[in-house]
Chain A
Amino acid sequence: MKSFLPLIFGMTAVTYLPRLIPLITMTERPINPLLKRFLLYIPYTALSALIVRGIIEAPTEMQLATIIGIVAAGICSFFKGGLILSVLVSVVAAFLVL
């Protein structure tokens, strides 16, 4: 089995440092507004690209179930909200199709 230790410790560093540095420096230094917006938008663009990627790269026999699961999560999240509920509904919907 391949060892993922380099990846794990690399990810630990790039996860921990952005959490730690602002706490330690404790400066209310104004961030360039352009940079700030860039950083703030990353989660949305990343999630969206990941979702689309998930559909494109899914194995053919899983593609329909993947789309239905994602749509179900979207609908549930839109009307009801809640991470866990949406995931559950999506998993059940996907299971019914598979």
Chain B
Amino acid sequence: MIEKDQTPIFTSIKQGVLTSIPLIFGYFPVAMAFGMLSKNIGISFRDTSFFSIFVFAGASQFMALDLINAGISTGNIIIATFLLNLRHLMMSASLSLRLQEIKKHWLLFIAFGVTDESFSVTSLINRKLNVPFLLTLYGLSYSSWVIGTITGYLIGSILPLAVQNSLGIGLYAMFMALLVPETKKSMPILCLSVFSGLLYIFISYFNLFSSSWSLIGTIIIASGAGAFFIKDSAIEEDKI
């Protein structure tokens, strides 16, 4: 088969390794927190590892723990995950434009590695995206996520209870640290986020939905309202 990209495989792999370093160091502690939290709410070692091995989606996995802990049904957690992951449609659509020369069977693996972080990194890179580069980049960050999870599960319980509880709060800190930079960039996003938070309080206070639907209901209503009332083109160009 003729490979159009002439970059030697070794060079691509080396660049993949270099590019993955921030992802490896970024994922590891977050994955550890996931492993530990998962153990704390009573999920088995096998299932905790499987979450990271098969799902490989940070925000969704943490949300799942949170919802499992709140006693939300499996079906509703899957729907909430689906909603949260719809943003990857946008990212993959944007990535696909740069992967036109790559054979379809490789895309099965590459697709698995599309996360918010890996997408941000790849979209900032000007080099040509080829298979060895992408597989190295995604493979290493994936390994960090899986190994971090296992490490957190196994050694998390050595830590004192106050430390474990504070690490649990790290989950919300992560949500906040993901949200704040976006609200800083865009006033409409700030308004929408505040609206969504208030809407959740309103919905849960008056029990407008059954408790498992409060979150999904809030997300749909708030995003729908945003889609109708906010025409913030800046954020769209930034993301796509």
Contacts and interface: CB of A to CB of B under 8 A. Distances in A.
Interface of A: 1-12, 14-16, 18-26, 28, 31, 34-57, 62, 65-66, 69-70, 72-74, 76-78, 81-84, 86-92, 94-95, 98
A49 B77 contact: no
Given A73-B173, A87-B29, 14 more contacts: A7-B78, A8-B55, A14-B81, A18-B89, A18-B92, A22-B93, A23-B92, A37-B227, A38-B226, A46-B63, A46-B83, A49-B219, A86-B177, A90-B172
Contact of B179 (A14, A19, A51, A87): A51
A84 B83 contact: no
Which applies to chain B's interface (DSSP): helix, strand, loop or mixed? helix
A38 B95 CA distance: 20
Contacts of A7: 64, 68, 74, 77-78
Enumerate the 3 nearest inter-chain pairs by beta-carbon distance, A residue then B residue, closest first. Answer: A90-B173, A73-B173, A86-B177
Contact of B99 (A9, A12, A23): A23
B26 to A, nearest CB: 6
A36 B90 contact: yes
Interface residues of B, number: 101
B177 A21 contact: no
Contacts of B193: 44-45, 47-48
Nearest to B61: A11
Contacts of B56: 15
B4 interface: no
Given A11-B55, A24-B104, A77-B180, A38 B81 contact: no
Which applies to chain A's interface (DSSP): helix, strand, loop or mixed? helix
